[in-house]
Amino acid sequence: MLNSFAEEIAHRYALIVQKLAEMAGANLIVGDLIRNATRNCLVGMHAAGAESYEIRQHLGALIAWHINSLQAQSVRTLAAWIQARNHMEFLLFIEEQEGLALSGDIGTSAADTLH
């Protein structure tokens, strides 16, 4: 279960992305800011004790809600939210792959490794 501190981090992140999406709608370049905010959000949520699956579930639902609530917004505003979702998924995927690689290396020796 996601704790309240991690939830608060996610909601503050959504506010940041909302402002960045508005800036994107005004034709400002915000891609790096969205990626940095996403990374910082994930780091903060992990530090608050959230697991990757909890982050994906809660933050993904929060981002999806914002994407679905956009009606007559500009294409750039929508693209900013989609970029936030995609970057979140990418970072969580990389984290999971690194975790699998580390767990696969435990108990193997150099003689057991095939090249």
Per-residue pLDDT at 105 exceeds 80: no
Residue 48 in this model has a pLDDT that exceeds 50: yes
- Residue 72 has a pLDDT of 62
Chain segment 74-104, per-residue pLDDT in tens = 889 999 999 999 999 999 999 999 888 887 7
Q: Rounded to an integer, what distance in angstroms lies between the CA atom of residue 50 and that of residue 90?
A: 17
Mean pLDDT of 28-36: 96
Q: What is the pTM of this model?
A: 0.82
Determine contact, residues 62/11, Cβ cutoff 8 Å: yes
Using alpha carbons, select from 66, 59, 68 the residue that is nearest to residue 87.
Answer: 59
Please report the pLDDT score of residue 85 as a whole number: 96
Going by pLDDT thresholds of 50, 70 and 90, the confidence category of residue 111 is very low
